[in-house]
Structure 1
């Protein structure tokens, strides 16, 4: 199932289609993952494009498998602010999240220069972590 998920996220989508239909299809594929698929995702996602990672992060928020949180935390180490923000947004829906001080500092930096919607996302995540955005 990982191969199907990987191929699907690599397709070209119009933005509206991705959010209207594509996220549902991708989430459905995730719901069929077995343990090996989760292992493959954790190992192979690091080599994917930023666009692929953003799409992946956008659908991992509802996945209950512990690997989904691990992948999102890994995405926070990306050089791409877009990937980091997509991961941070999805992490808001996870129950238990622990972030390193380096990641928290990076998120603070993004929030300082971010737009109001970016600040809302990060403020909510920081609130879930017991931190305050100043």
Structure 2
């Protein structure tokens, strides 16, 4: 399964086809991941190209496996503002008390969000502010 995911995320696609079809296919594939697939993804995710990481972050959500949350947290360590915003936008769906507490216990994340708000455009600023409101 991991190899299929890698192939899908590595494929060159138009923006429209990715958001219309690709992300749905990836989300469905992630539903069928086994532990060995998650282990491999966890090991390899930070070594993948930036565009691959962005596509993956967009497809992760809170309805699946706990490994998705851990992968999103690891992607926050990558120094790229667009990837950071995608991860934060995705993390807004993680509404459990446990997830919120884990985020609150990472002051680096909160500091980066506050700093990103200062230089963000209107849409990005709203996403970042909504993320912070959701932690309360």
How much is the aligned-residue C-alpha RMSD, in angstroms? 1.1
Unaligned stretches of 5+ in structure 1? none
Report the equivalent of 1:117. Answer: 123
Tell me the TM-score normalised to structure 1 length.
0.92
Tell me the TM-score normalised to structure 2 length.
0.91
Report the equivalent of 2:68. Answer: 68
Distance in 2 between residues matched to 1:42 and 1:112, nearest whole Å: 31
Distance in 2 between residues matched to 1:104 and 1:86, nearest whole Å: 15
Per-residue deviation at 1:82?
1.0
Report the equivalent of 2:108. Answer: 102
Unaligned stretches of 5+ in structure 2? none
What is the 5 A alignment of 1:21-100?
21-95=21-95, 96-97=99-100, 98-99=102-103, 100=106
Per-residue deviation at 1:104?
1.1
User: By percentage of residues, which structure has more helix?
Assistant: 2
Per-residue deviation at 1:62?
4.9
